[in-house]
Amino acid sequence: MTTMNQAAFAVLHGVSRKTVTKWKERGWIVLDGKEVNIEASNELIGRYRKEIVTRGNKPTGNKKALPDETPEQAADRIFIATGATMTMDEARRVKENYLALLNQLEYDIKSKQVIMAADVVREVGEEYAKVRTRLLAIPSEQAPRIHRLRTVAEVRNRLRKPIFL
């Protein structure tokens, strides 16, 4: 069992000490006291990084796109850099669940079990516009008739008919 401090482990992997601290927070680093257990930590990191570093070899990847890098390799590099903590099997399961839910949503939309919020907003807006137009027309339509009325009760009764049609 070989151990070293976190700074040396960062140098070994060609990363910053801050990166090693992040790995430690994610549970990728195995500590023996204050020292990093190299073999156990490399085994854990191997689940999330493509290149395992042992004494003497340095990682070749960097944060810039490599000229001969495939999209899959770029995605792997980005996931590693951002701290993706899932194994490939877990990621496939999450992807399959997402796709199944997406297909279910598409089916629900087609079968009219789910309505798009924008459609509801448009329909309600159109209905409110009709109501507003009718309410604004009441004074001009009813003014000649209301003019002749004498009491509040007569005016109220006259306005109920066009409002509550």
Q: Encode pLDDT of 28-73 as tens digits.
A: 888 888 888 888 888 888 777 655 555 444 544 444 556 677 777 7
Q: Residue 18 sits in which domain range?
A: 3-83
pTM strictly above 0.75: no
Mean pLDDT of 116-125: 93
Mean pLDDT of 89-118: 89
Question: 93 and 79 in one domain?
Answer: no
DSSP per position, 86-152: --HHHHHHHHHHHHHHHHHHHHHHHTTSS--HHHHHHHHHHHHHHHHHHHHHHHHHHHHHHHT--SH
Question: 74 and 36 in one domain?
Answer: yes
Question: 94 and 121 in one domain?
Answer: no
Question: 130 and 66 in one domain?
Answer: no
Number of domains in the chain: 3
Question: 79 and 65 in one domain?
Answer: yes
